[in-house]
């Protein structure tokens, strides 16, 4: 799936609501959960955490790792860098314990955040995406929502912790496996993943000229294919689509028919700016349409959402839509007016 975040428009999608195992892409939700706690003042980035022997015994060199040792006292910020840069399974578990005291309490926060973001087809059973018997799953559409939240709700924290190419902890220096960060223009995150069950996964993003694209790939059979397709989709999205603000908020777009109203129609205006990423190829035509269930029954109050403005592609599929609000009050018609309207409708 490839989405233009400025317009909210999917530029490409195949099975965007199919559930899959995200593997280490799970750690983006762990980072988001930490960002949210930091933003709420409930977690301090300079707070130290004593890494325990129990954590070392379970997680040292277990999959992707920061290689933490018992007795070390990393800060929350250092753990976050270990998660976002080198995908530390150990750092993820340490952060969960440091922030909430237990993995279970941390998972409750992760799943509550997923629900709040509208990630209705996602569930998290571990902080790091390590195989957990199918408890962790998500969809491409849900990961786009998560990517939007990480980059837009906490831009300063996102810029501080994502987009690094390497990390040194102790005597060990590791590189970031993200094929987007530093490898396409404007690429600055987010996360790759791999398990035998999940295949190779990616949640990636790049920003150019105030425009940000997010790409999701799941179930790739090889890392090379995942990386190549991810970069190609990002480049294609920037190259072959031209984002434009088509109409400003408040623009009057037409009228909707009204049933049993003092007026037989009501004006429609955009609630917010209407923008779209238009195909650069002029052969790809798009059309605007006003859609509503009507006639709209009176009474109607000014500002009521009564219709939607839709941009449709050549197949008729809706690629962008936005609410249209009533521009005036329409009272319910009196009995005589309703009888007259009925006759007018009857005789065409």
CATH number at residue 98: 3.40.710.10
One domain, residues 257 and 133: no
Domain that holds residue 321: 248-346
Neighbour order of strands in the sheet with 2-4: 9-12, 2-4, 211-220, 199-208, 187-195
One domain, residues 268 and 224: no
pLDDT of res. 63 = 92
pLDDT of res. 340 = 57
Q: Per residue in 210-247, pLDDT tens?
A: 899 999 999 999 999 999 999 999 999 999 999 999 99
Final residue in a domain of this structure, among 226, 242, 258: 242
Q: Rounded to the nearest 10 degrees, what angle do helices 26-39 and 103-116 cross at? A: 90
Final residue in a domain of this structure, among 210, 242, 274: 242
- Alpha-carbon span 100 to 118, nearest angstrom: 23
**pTM: predicted TM-score of the whole model, two decimal places:** 0.88
- Which residues fall within 8 angstroms of residue 131, CB to CB, at 6 or more apart? 195, 197
Final residue in a domain of this structure, among 221, 242, 263: 242
Annotated binding site: 191
pLDDT of res. 294 = 81
One domain, residues 196 and 112: yes
One domain, residues 237 and 273: no
User: For residue 347, what pLDDT band results from cuts at 50, 70 and 90?
Assistant: low
> Which residues are marked as active site?
24, 27, 87
| Residue among 201, 165, 156, 199 at smallest CA distance from 183 | 165
One domain, residues 131 and 258: no
Structure tokens at 241: 């689509």
15 torsion bin: left (phi>0), alpha (psi -120 to 50), beta (else): left
The answer to whether residues 271 and 257 touch, using CB atoms and an 8 Å cutoff, is no
User: For residue 152, what pLDDT band results from cuts at 50, 70 and 90?
Assistant: very high
One domain, residues 201 and 267: no
pLDDT of res. 333 = 82
One domain, residues 22 and 76: yes
One domain, residues 335 and 299: yes
One domain, residues 234 and 262: no
Tell me the CATH number at 286: 2.60.410.10
Annotated binding site for substrate: 191
Q: Per residue in 100-137, pLDDT tens?
A: 999 999 999 999 999 999 999 999 999 999 999 999 99
Structure tokens at 283: 């052969």
List the beta bridge partners of residue 291. Answer: 308
């Amino acid at each position: 799936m490839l989405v233009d975040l400025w317009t909210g428009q999917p530029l490409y999608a195949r099975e965007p609501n199919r559930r899959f195992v995200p593997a280490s892409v799970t750690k983006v939700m762990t980072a988001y959960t930490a960002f949210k706690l930091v933003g709420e003042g409930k977690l301090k980035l300079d707070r130290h955490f004593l890494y325990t022997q129990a954590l070392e015994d379970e997680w040292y060199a277990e999959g992707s790792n920061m290689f933490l040792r018992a007795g070390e006292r990393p800060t929350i910020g250092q753990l976050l860098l270990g998660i976002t840069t080198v995908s530390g399974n150990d750092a993820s578990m340490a952060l969960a314990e440091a922030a909430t005291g237990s993995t279970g309490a941390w998972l409750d926060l992760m799943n509550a955040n997923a629900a709040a973001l509208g990630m209705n087809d996602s569930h998290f059973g571990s902080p790091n995406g390590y195989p957990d018997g199918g408890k962790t799953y998500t969809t491409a559409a849900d990961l786009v929502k998560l990517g939007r939240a990480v980059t837009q709700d906490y831009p300063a924290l996102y810029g501080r912790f994502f987009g690094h190419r390497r990390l040194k902890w102790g005597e060990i220096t590791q590189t970031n496996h993200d094929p987007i960060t530093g490898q396409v223009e404007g690429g600055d995150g987010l996360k790759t993943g791999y398990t035998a069950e999940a295949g190779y996964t990616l949640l990636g993003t790049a920003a150019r000229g105030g425009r940000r694209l997010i790409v999701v790939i799941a179930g790739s059979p090889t890392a090379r294919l995942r990386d190549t397709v991810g970069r190609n989709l990002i480049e294609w999205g920037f190259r072959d689509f031209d984002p434009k603000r088509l109409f400003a908020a408040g623009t009057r777009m037409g009228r909707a028919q009204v049933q049993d109203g003092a007026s037989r129609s009501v004006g429609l205006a955009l609630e917010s700016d209407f923008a779209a990423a238009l195909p650069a190829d002029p052969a790809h035509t798009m059309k605007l349409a006003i859609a509503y269930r009507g006639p709209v029954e009176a009474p109607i109050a000014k500002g009521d959402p009564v219709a939607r403005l839709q941009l449709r592609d050549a197949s008729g599929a809706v690629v962008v839509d936005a609410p249209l609000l009533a521009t005036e009050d329409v009272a319910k018609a009196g009995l005589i007016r309703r009888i007259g309207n009925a006759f007018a409708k009857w005789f065409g």
